[in-house]
């Protein structure tokens, strides 16, 4: 990995370069801000280690210019004159971390390691987006948040396998889209991606839906029907709401997964099938297993690879992107020239918790576009439910940002069961910044 070390003190620069080189990093040096920018514009670096005070500029100035050239390059600020305000400003402007001199070597190496891992994840997501744009309607999967970057990283690694996948998450979080992305990134992409919504089918029809039937198998079966498993052979079969599958069908599905063979209703002939299975549920399926309403052996067969879709309230940085997408989409459908959304309306959308997730956000904007009388969606165009939930919350942008930040920290701590190291990695920040923000918001690690 290639690092750019920007430090005007010769002794400090020598010691840091020696330590980093010993750890296997390639280190380029710069003594001034101007020299650092020349290096950065003419070469490619995985990380910048940047002194806050330079002879010709400040670290903050260089940080801004580095982010203009390459927004995903992690920058670690080092300074001998630390204060909380500078640390907060640096983090807001995109610094990965803020360390004080004298540098603790172990702490620095740990922070660099985390920064490069974050960079790797972002690069992986950029490559994934490029591939998806070629193979899939990627405009439907819109994200910028850390939780969704992690999801898409898992998607890219999952796609290369033939193992069964279980996607969990609340209704409206985009489970079907992720299943489609896995298929279109896989070596099965030239074959069919077949979808079956189990919750929409009566129990009596699920068996014939999945396995097919012969002519005369039951009253009304006037001709042979090919089931979803057979139709999806060599491709991917997505079973939505697998938690709704009746127990009478669960045992038959288990046998198909084990034997790779199906028998059409009304027939004795076994037919080999080769469909990759992706299932989704919005239920607590582990609880159903414990309550004996879902077969444990089937659960283990389905839960080989697991992807959990975060609810929209845990990925609020994605809301502005989704809003822009849905405005363009539904404006075209309604033949209306809606340019954008007002700051006041966007502020309310950022505060709302979306029990219906992305599907609810799309419905809110589709309704607002129909009702809007001008080129901008205003607060008056939003449903009363949005206003009622957010009317007691302050309207300043800083307040909104802090509320989102607080919710994301709580969600990460909950997910990590109070482990601050894991929570910091999840949020893409250092433990030091996490502890500072926890103290700022009065968040206890439970």
Residue 233 is part of a domain; what is its CATH number?
Answer: 3.40.50.300
For residues 159 and 301, state if they share a domain. Answer: yes
Are residues 168 and 91 both part of a single domain? Answer: no
- Considering the domain architecture, whether residues 306 and 409 belong to the same structural domain is answered as no
Question: Does residue 254 share a domain with residue 164?
Answer: yes
The answer to whether residues 220 and 254 belong to one domain is yes
Between 21 and 82, the more confident residue is: 21
In a domain, 129, yes or no: no
Whether residues 264 and 317 share a domain: the answer is: no
The whole-number pLDDT of residue 274 equals 94
Residue 408 domain-assigned (yes or no): yes
Domain annotation covers residue 130:
no
DSSP secondary structure letters along 399-439: HHHHHHHHHHHHHHHHHTTT-HHHHHHHHTS-HHHHHHHHH
Contact 181, 136 (CB under 8 A): yes
Q: How far apart, in whole angstroms, are the C-alpha atoms of residue 193 and residue 236?
A: 5
Half-sphere exposure at residue 142, Cβ-oriented, CA atoms within 13 angstroms: 17
- Give dist(CA 74, CA 297) in Å, integer: 45
Q: Residue 217 has which token pair?
A: 């198998």
Please report the pLDDT score of residue 182 as a whole number.
Answer: 93
Asked whether residue 137 is assigned to any structural domain, the reply reads no
Q: What is the pLDDT of residue 373?
A: 85
Mean pLDDT to the nearest integer, 96-115: 87
Q: What is the largest CA-CA distance in the chain?
A: 89
Alpha-carbon distance of 109 to 122, in angstroms, equals 20
Which pLDDT band, with edges at 50, 70 and 90, does 394 fall under? Answer: very low
Is the per-residue pLDDT at 138 higher than 50?
A: no
Q: How do residues 361-371 score in pLDDT, each as one tens digit? A: 999 999 999 98
284 and 153 fall within a common domain? yes
Q: How do residues 422-445 score in pLDDT, each as one tens digit?
A: 888 778 787 777 887 888 788 876
**Number of domains making up the chain:** 4
Report which of residues 395 and 147 the model is more confident about: 147
Domain limit, last residue, from 286, 310, 334: 310
Q: Is residue 20 part of a domain?
A: yes
Instruction: Give the closest residue to 208 by CA, choosing from 263, 251, 278.
Output: 263
Specify whether 243 is located in the same domain as 358.
no
CATH code where residue 406 lies: 1.10.10.60
Which one has a higher pLDDT value, 153 or 122? 153
Q: Are 186 and 287 in the same domain?
A: yes
Give per-residue pLDDT as tens, 378-393: 888 998 888 776 554 4
Structural domain boundaries enclosing 329: 313-395
In a domain? residue 176: yes
pLDDT at 242: 95
Q: What is the CATH number of the domain that holds 350?
A: 1.10.8.60
Pair 250, 294: CB distance under 8 Å = yes
> Is residue 134 domain-resident?
no
Does residue 258 have a pLDDT over 80?
yes
Distance, first Cα to last Cα, the chain: 37
User: Looking at residues 146-166, what average pLDDT do you find?
Assistant: 91
Which residues does residue 308 pair with via DSSP β-bridges, in sequence order? Answer: 168
Which of residues 120, 154, 181 is at a domain's end? 120
Give tens-digit pLDDT for 196-253.
998 888 888 899 999 998 888 887 788 888 899 999 999 999 999 999 999 989 999 9
Residue ending a domain, among 293, 310, 327, is 310
Instruction: Give me the pLDDT at residue 302, please.
Output: 96
- Spatial separation of the C-alpha atoms in residues 32 and 122, rounded to whole Å: 29
Residues 50 and 90 both lie in one domain: yes
Q: Between the CA of residue 10 and those of 33, 56, 151, 317, what are the distances in Å?
A: 15, 16, 43, 41
Q: What is the pLDDT of residue 393?
A: 47
Do 240 and 273 have their domain in common?
A: yes
- Same-domain status, 166 and 277: yes
Q: What is the pLDDT of residue 82?
A: 64
What's the CATH number where 66 sits? 3.40.50.2300
Report the share of the chain in percent with pLDDT over 90. Answer: 37
Dihedral, CA atoms, 319, 324, 329, 331, nearest 10 degrees?
120
pLDDT at 446: 58
**CA torsion, ordered 246, 252, 255, 260, to nearest 10 deg:** -110
Average pLDDT of span 118-137: 66
**Contact residues for 227 (Cβ-Cβ < 8 A; gap 6+):** 208, 209, 210, 211, 212, 213, 262, 264
pLDDT band, residue 161 (cuts 50/70/90): very high
Tell whether the torsion through CA atoms of 105, 110, 115 and 117 is positive or negative: positive
Whether 128 maps to a domain, the answer reads no
């Amino acid at each position: 990995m290639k690092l750019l070390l920007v430090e005007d003190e010769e002794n400090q620069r020598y010691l840091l370069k020696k330590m980093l080189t010993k750890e296997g990093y390639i280190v380029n040096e710069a003594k001034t801000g101007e020299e650092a920018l020349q290096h950065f514009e003419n070469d490619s670096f995985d990380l910048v280690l940047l002194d806050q005070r330079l002879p010709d500029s400040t670290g903050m100035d260089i940080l801004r210019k580095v982010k203009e050239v390459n927004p995903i390059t992690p920058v670690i600020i080092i300074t001998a004159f630390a204060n909380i305000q500078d640390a907060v400003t640096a983090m807001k402007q995109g610094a990965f971390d803020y360390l004080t001199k004298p540098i603790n070597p172990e702490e620095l190496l740990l922070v660099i390691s985390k920064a490069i891992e974050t960079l790797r994840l972002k690069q992986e997501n950029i490559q994934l987006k490029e591939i998806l744009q070629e193979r899939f309607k990627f405009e439907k999967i819109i994200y910028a948040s850390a939780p969704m970057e992690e999801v898409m990283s898992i998607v890219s690694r999952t796609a290369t396998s033939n193992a069964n996948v279980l996607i969990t998450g609340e209704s409206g979080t985009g489970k079907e889209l992720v299943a489609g992305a896995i298929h279109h990134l896989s070596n099965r992409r030239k074959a069919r991606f077949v979808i079956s919504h189990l919750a929409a089918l009566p129990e009596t029809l699920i068996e014939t839906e999945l396995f097919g039937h012969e002519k005369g198998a039951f009253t009304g079966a006037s001709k042979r029907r090919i089931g979803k498993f057979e139709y999806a052979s060599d491709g991917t079969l997505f079973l939505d709401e697998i938690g709704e599958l009746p127990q009478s069908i669960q045992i038959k599905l288990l046998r198909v997964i084990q034997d790779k063979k199906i028998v059409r209703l009304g027939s004795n002939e076994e037919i080999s099938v080769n469909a990759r299975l992706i299932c989704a549920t919005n239920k607590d399926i582990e609880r159903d297993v414990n309550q004996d309403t879902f077969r444990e052996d089937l659960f283990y067969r389905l839960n080989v690879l697991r992807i959990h879709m975060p609810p929209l309230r845990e990925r609020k940085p994605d809301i502005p992107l989704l809003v822009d997408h849905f405005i363009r989409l539904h404006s075209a459908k309604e033949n209306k020239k809606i340019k954008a959304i007002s700051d006041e309306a966007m502020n309310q959308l950022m505060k709302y918790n979306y029990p219906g997730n992305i599907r609810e956000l799309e419905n809110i904007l589709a309704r607002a576009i129909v009702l809007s009388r001008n080129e901008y969606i205003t607060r008056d165009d939003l449903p009363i439910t949005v206003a009622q939930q957010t009317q007691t919350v302050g309207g300043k942008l800083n307040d909104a940002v802090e509320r989102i930040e607080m919710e994301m920290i709580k969600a990460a701590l909950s997910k990590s069961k109070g482990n601050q190291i894991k929570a910091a990695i999840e949020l893409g920040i250092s433990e030091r910044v996490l502890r500072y923000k926890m103290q700022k918001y009065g968040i206890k690690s439970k």
